[in-house]
C-alpha cells in the first residue's frame, strides 16, 4: 500500500465551528461514525463503525505506518479525530507523537491545501466543480450531517431524543454511507485532476511544521479569560442601565430606538456603524456624545475573543488549531481561526501587568476607578490571555519592515536598500527623499515623518489618494489638497518600484494574451493548462485560475481570473501590475517566514503561535532572544542580497512590546 484516501463522518455534541477540531474531538461523546477509504485509488469502502463494523487490520496498520501517505480534504480534521479515537481504543504506536498525543503529520497530505496552492476553492464541493472532477459531492450531504452528526432538539415526534442514530432513519443512514463514499471518490477525482501540478516538497514540509505548531497549541490563562467574560457582562449591564436612565429607552441597544432618540434630540443619522458614530462624535452635544461613547463601548466586538477562547480551550489548558496553512490562497499566507489571532487588538496601557492583575482578581471596581473605559481595558488585555507554561517564557521575534525590504530588493530601489543596510528608519528616510530635506531634521513627532509613514503604508502597491484616505490620512491631520502631491512625491522618490509595477503588468499581460512564458525582475510568468503561474524566487508558484484579458471598471484592458473575491464567492476578478506586485511581495515575505520557522524548529525551539511576520516561542530561561533573532534574521539563499532584520523581546504574557 502506498496511499490511503480517507474521509470520516463523526458525532460530537461540541460545536465544531466554534470550538475547532481539537476541542471537538475531546468531547466525552465524540465518536467516529463512518470511515470511508480507498487503497491506492481503488474501490471505495465504507466501514460503518456506528453499527458495529470493525476497521480491517490492514487499515489499522496503514494509519500507523509512516510510509503510507494518508490523503484527506482538510486532513487536519481526519488526523486529529483519528488520534483521539485511537487513544480511546488504548492503542499506542511508533507514529504517535508522545509530546502532543497526535498522529505524526509527516505521513499526511491534504487535498484542500493542494486546491489552495492552485488558487482553487477550499471546499470539496466547489473544488470539484471548478476542476471538473467527475465525482461531484452529493447535494443532500449537509442535511445528513445535521441529522446524524449533531445533537437534535427533543420533540414529541422524535420521542424526546437528543440524538439521531442509524436505527432512527435506516434509509437516511444508507444515503449517509453513500455520501461518505462519494466524498472519498471526489477527493481522488480532484487529486487526479491536479496531478500535473504537484506541490513542491518544501511546501509539504512547511505543512507538517504548521500541523506540529497547531498540535502543540498555546497555553491560556483561563482564570483571566473567565474573569474577563464576567467583567464584560457586568460592564454591559451597568452601561445599559445608565443609557436607559439617560435616554428613557426600553432598549438602548436597539438601532431603531437609538436613531429615533438622537433625531428627537437634534442629531439625525442614517447609521450607527463604527465610522458613522466617529463622525457624529465630532459635532454631538456633550450629553449625546456621552451616550454615543457608551454605545461604542457596548459594541466592542473584540471582547468576544474571550468567549472564543473559552469555547476552544482543550482539557490541558491549551488552545489549538488557531492557524490555517495556506489560508490566503493567492499568496499562501496563513489565516487565523477560532480566536482570529491575526487581528488581535493592540495594547497601549503603560501598566498592563497591573490591569491584568486587577482583572484576574475580579477587582472590577478598581478597574472602573482607574481607567476611563472597562471595555477598552478588556480589549487591550486580550493578548495577555496567552501565557507560557510554568517555568517558561515567551520570546517574541518579528521581521522589521519585511514587505518594505522585499519590494525594495525586488525593484532594486538602491536608496531604500541603503536605509535597511544602515539605520533602518524608513519613514524618516522616505520623507527625506520625498521632500528633499536632510533626514536629521525629520524627528519622530514631526509632520513630515507622519507624511512619510502614511505614504509608506498606503502607496507601495499602486495606491493613490483613495488609499491614503483608507489608511486614515485625513484623520492624521492631512488635508484633501495635500494628498495628490503626496502620491506624486512618493512615486517620484521611488521610480524603480513604479517601474516594477508596470514591468510586472507587462509580463503578466503578455503571458496571458500570448499564452507564453515571460520574465522580469527574476520572477517568471507562465500560461499553462488554464492557469497563470507566477514563480517566486523560492520556486513556489502563485496560481491564477482561467486567466484571460478583459476590461476593468475603468474600461481599460487588464488580466482577469477566477477566484474568491471580496464577496467571498467564486467570481471573475480583475488585476493589474501593482496588485500582482502586492501578491508577489507578500508571498515572498511568507516564504521567508516559513524558512525562518523551519530553522527555529530545527534547533528544538517550540513555536506556539505566529502572527503575520511575528513568531511566538515558548522557551526555557536559558534561551536568549539574541539567538532567536539571529536565526530568524538569516537571509535564505534564494533571496541573495535581501537585507533582513529580526527584533525580539521576552515576556511572561503575550503582548506588543
Cα–Cα dist 414/429, whole Å:
12
Mean pLDDT over each residue of the chain, to the nearest integer? 93
Cα–Cα dist 520/143, whole Å:
50
Please tell me the chain's helix, strand, coil percentages from 3-state DSSP, rounded to the nearest 5. Answer: 50, 20, 35
- Band (98; pLDDT cuts 50, 70, 90): low
pLDDT tens figures, 544-570: 999 999 988 888 899 999 998 888 889
- Band (88; pLDDT cuts 50, 70, 90): confident
What pLDDT shows up at residue 100?
Answer: 61
The residue assigned the cell 503510507 is 68
pLDDT at 406 over 90: yes
The residue assigned the cell 474531538 is 25
Domain ranges of the chain: 3-199, 221-299+348-385, 414-493
pLDDT at 302 over 80: no
436: left (phi over 0), alpha (psi -120 to 50) or beta: left
Do 451 and 431 form a contact (C-beta atoms < 8 A)? yes
Reduced to 3 states (helix: H, G, I; strand: E, B; else coil), residue 542 is strand
Cα–Cα dist 311/450, whole Å:
41
pLDDT at 467 over 70: yes
Q: What is the DSSP letter of 561?
A: E
pLDDT tens figures, 125-140: 889 888 888 666 566 8
Q: CA nearest 141: which of 82, 193, 181, 168?
A: 181
DSSP assignment of 5-26: EEEEEEE-SS-HHHHHHHHHTT
Burial 75-95 (b: 16+ CB within 10 A, else e): bbbbbbbbbbbbeeeeeeeeb
Reduced to 3 states (helix: H, G, I; strand: E, B; else coil), residue 274 is helix
Beta strands 570-575 and 606-611, pairing class = unpaired
Annotate 56-115 with three-state secondary structure.
CHHHHHHHHCCCCEEEECCHHHHHHHHHHHHHHCCCCCCCEECCCCEECHHHEEEHHHHH
Reduced to 3 states (helix: H, G, I; strand: E, B; else coil), residue 573 is strand
Reduced to 3 states (helix: H, G, I; strand: E, B; else coil), residue 656 is coil
Cα–Cα dist 459/338, whole Å:
32
Do 588 and 537 form a contact (C-beta atoms < 8 A)? yes
pLDDT tens figures, 604-624: 999 999 999 999 999 999 999
In sequence order, the 6+-apart residues with CB closer than 8 A to the CB of 362 are: 227, 230, 231
- Band (92; pLDDT cuts 50, 70, 90): low
Least-confidence region, from 64-78, 234-248, 504-518:
234-248
Cα–Cα dist 631/603, whole Å:
10
Mean predicted confidence (pLDDT) in 478-489: 91
- Band (522; pLDDT cuts 50, 70, 90): very high
- Band (256; pLDDT cuts 50, 70, 90): very high
- Band (99; pLDDT cuts 50, 70, 90): low
Cα–Cα dist 504/651, whole Å:
42
Tell how many helices (H) and how many strands (E) occur in the chain. 25, 21
Q: For 46, phi and psi rounded to 5 degrees?
A: -120, 120
From the centroid of its chain, how far is CA 428? 31
Classify domain 3-199 at the CATH topology level: Nucleotidyltransferase; domain 5 (3.30.420)
Amino acid at each position: 500500500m502506498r496511499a490511503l484516501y480517507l474521509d470520516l463522518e463523526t458525532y460530537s455534541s461540541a460545536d465544531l465551528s466554534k470550538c475547532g477540531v481539537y476541542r471537538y474531538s475531546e468531547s466525552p461523546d465524540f465518536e467516529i461514525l463512518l470511515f470511508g477509504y480507498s487503497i491506492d485509488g481503488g474501490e471505495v469502502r465504507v466501514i460503518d463503525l456506528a453499527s458495529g463494523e470493525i476497521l480491517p487490520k490492514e487499515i489499522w496498520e496503514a494509519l500507523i505506518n509512516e510510509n503510507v501517505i494518508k490523503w484527506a480534504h482538510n486532513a487536519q480534521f481526519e488526523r486529529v479525530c483519528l488520534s483521539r479515537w485511537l487513544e480511546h481504543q488504548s492503542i499506542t504506536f511508533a507514529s504517535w507523537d508522545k509530546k502532543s498525543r497526535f498522529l505524526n503529520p509527516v505521513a499526511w497530505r491534504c487535498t484542500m491545501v493542494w486546491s489552495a496552492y492552485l488558487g482553487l476553492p477550499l471546499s470539496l464541493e466547489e473544488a470539484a466543480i471548478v476542476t471538473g472532477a467527475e465525482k461531484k459531492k452529493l447535494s443532500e450531504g449537509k442535511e445528513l450531517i445535521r441529522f446524524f452528526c449533531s445533537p437534535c432538539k427533543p420533540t414529541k415526534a422524535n420521542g424526546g431524543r437528543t440524538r439521531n442514530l442509524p436505527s432512527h432513519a435506516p434509509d437516511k443512514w444508507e444515503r449517509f454511507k453513500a455520501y461518505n463514499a462519494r466524498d472519498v471518490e471526489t477527493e481522488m477525482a480532484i487529486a487526479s485532476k491536479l496531478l500535473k501540478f504537484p506541490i513542491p516538497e518544501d511546501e509539504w514540509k512547511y505543512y507538517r511544521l504548521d500541523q506540529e505548531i497547531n498540535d502543540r497549541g498555546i497555553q491560556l490563562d483561563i482564570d483571566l479569560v473567565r474573569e474577563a467574560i464576567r467583567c464584560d457582562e457586568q460592564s454591559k449591564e451597568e452601561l445599559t442601565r445608565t443609557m436607559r436612565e439617560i435616554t428613557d429607552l426600553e432598549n438602548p441597544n436597539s438601532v431603531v430606538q437609538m436613531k429615533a432618540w438622537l433625531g428627537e434630540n437634534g442629531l439625525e443619522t442614517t447609521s450607527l456603524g463604527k465610522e458613522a458614530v466617529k463622525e457624529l462624535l465630532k459635532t454631538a452635544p456633550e450629553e449625546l456624545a456621552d451616550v454615543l461613547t457608551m454605545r461604542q463601548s457596548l459594541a466592542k466586538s473584540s471582547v468576544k475573543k474571550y468567549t472564543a477562547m473559552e469555547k476552544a480551550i482543550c482539557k490541558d489548558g491549551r488552545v489549538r488549531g488557531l492557524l490555517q496553512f495556506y489560508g490566503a490562497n493567492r499568496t499562501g499566507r496563513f489565516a487565523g481561526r477560532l480566536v482570529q489571532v491575526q487581528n488581535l487588538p493592540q495594547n497601549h496601557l503603560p501598566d498592563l501587568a497591573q490591569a491584568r492583575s486587577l482583572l484576574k482578581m475580579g477587582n472590577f471596581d478598581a478597574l472602573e476607578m482607574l481607567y476611563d473605559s472597562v471595555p477598552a481595558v478588556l480589549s487591550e488585555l486580550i493578548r495577555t490571555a496567552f501565557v507560557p507554561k510554568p517555568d517558561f517564557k515567551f520570546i517574541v521575534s518579528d521581521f522589521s519592515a519585511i514587505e518594505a525590504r522585499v519590494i525594495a530588493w525586488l525593484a532594486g530601489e538602491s536608496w531604500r536598500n541603503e536605509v535597511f543596510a544602515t539605520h533602518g528608519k524608513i519613514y524618516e528616510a522616505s520623507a527625506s527623499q520625498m521632500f528633499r530635506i536632510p533626514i536629521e531634521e525629520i524627528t519622530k513627532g514631526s509632520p513630515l515623518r507622519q507624511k512619510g509613514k502614511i505614504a509608506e503604508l498606503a502607496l507601495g502597491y499602486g495606491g493613490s489618494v483613495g488609499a491614503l484616505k483608507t489608511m486614515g490620512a485625513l484623520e492624521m491631520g492631512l488635508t484633501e489638497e495635500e494628498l495628490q502631491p503626496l502620491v506624486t512625491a512618493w512615486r517620484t522618490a521611488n521610480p524603480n518600484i513604479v517601474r516594477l509595477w508596470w514591468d510586472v503588468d507587462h509580463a503578466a499581460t503578455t503571458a496571458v494574451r500570448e499564452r507564453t512564458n515571460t520574465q522580469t525582475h527574476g520572477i517568471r510568468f507562465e500560461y499553462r493548462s488554464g492557469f497563470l503561474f507566477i514563480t517566486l524566487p523560492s520556486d513556489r508558484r502563485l496560481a491564477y485560475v482561467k486567466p484571460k484579458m478583459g476590461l476593468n471598471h475603468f474600461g481599460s484592458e487588464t488580466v482577469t481570473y477566477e477566484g474568491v473575491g471580496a464577496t467571498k464567492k467564486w467570481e471573475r476578478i480583475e488585476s493589474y501590475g501593482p496588485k500582482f506586485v502586492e501578491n508577489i511581495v507578500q508571498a515572498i515575505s511568507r516564504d521567508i517566514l516559513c524558512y525562518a520557522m523551519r530553522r527555529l524548529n530545527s534547533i528544538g525551539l517550540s513555536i506556539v503561535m505566529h502572527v503575520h511576520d511575528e513568531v511566538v516561542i515558548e522557551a526555557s530561561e536559558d534561551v536568549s532572544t539574541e539567538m532567536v533573532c539571529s536565526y530568524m534574521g538569516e537571509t535564505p539563499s534564494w533571496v541573495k542580497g535581501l537585507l533582513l532584520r529580526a527584533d525580539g523581546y521576552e515576556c511572561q504574557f503575550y503582548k506588543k512590546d
